[in-house]
Structure 1
């Protein structure tokens, strides 16, 4: 069930990330063309580009957590059980970072409702919301990875018991 929900969450992250990255490219390209050829400044373009970039990075980071694309090292080559144990420990450590992202990111987002962007005059909370939202998605993905690794570790332990 969790895997199905995470498949949907991943598709949403990738789709929204792709759309925001596309918007980022179009806005930056339009700003360069309009500034250089029409000599008209587009003050709002910088803020839109930054917001799109921030959201794209945080959504991409969440998807990277699901696919374990962060930096990993096998501490004990050819020792699957030991490496799975280290993976489980890593998941617990990552969960503390995710806690910080969700709880303190939410507080940071709430503070953003009293601050406004210069050109767009929208609350910065919409930009800051990328942190707790990404943290929530990372939580789903990490729990999924944690459960999978626990199941793998248990199956390896059972095999060792039956082989002896």
Structure 2
């Protein structure tokens, strides 16, 4: 998934660069480049968000000092809260994607559903990653003795 995100980001950068050069120096309009770069950007953002979730790289607010066992309990609780947001992404993102099949893209030869599809797809990836994190953190939480400290 990381490689796909990197390739999409590279495609985004290259297309925008080529579009700017073609428009400013050769007076060649590239109508498709706007939508294609938007498509690459959307997929990069949503796949990147799933990857960041897996590696716990999102913004985190510690409610207790990070070396306390209690903080691991807060982590598990926050994962459960995140599941509700993931549910919204999957269910409503899927409905939104289905609605996009009836609308054609202005400049690309497919429907706008491809622009909306990263929402439920990254939601499913986030669901799997969150379940993995809940399992991992629960194991750590149960293994810790009261004398041990938790260091993430």
The separation in 2 between residues aligned to 1:82 and 1:148, in whole angstroms, is: 16
Q: Is residue 105 of structure 2 the alignment partner of residue 117 of structure 1?
A: yes
Tell whether 2:25 aligns with 1:25: no
Confirm or deny that 1:143 pairs with 2:131: yes
Which 5+ residue runs of structure 1 have no aligned equivalent?
Answer: 1-12
| Residue-by-residue CA offset, 1:60-95 (whole Å, 9 max, x unaligned) | 000000011111122121552211111111001100
Could you list the runs of 4 or more consecutive aligned residues of structure 1 that deviate by over 2 angstroms after TM superposition? none
1:63 aligns with 2:72: no
Q: Specify the alignment match of 2:82 in structure 1.
A: 94
Give the total of aligned pairs: 147
How high is the TM-score relative to the length of structure 2? 0.92
Q: Tell me the distance in 1 between the aligned counterparts of 2:29 and 2:22.
A: 7
Matched residues in 1 for 2:63 and 2:118: separation?
A: 33
TM-superposition CA deviations, 1:110-162 (whole Å, max 9, x none): 00001111111420111100001100111111111100111111112xx349x
TM-score, structure 1 normalization? 0.85
Q: CA RMSD in A?
A: 1.4
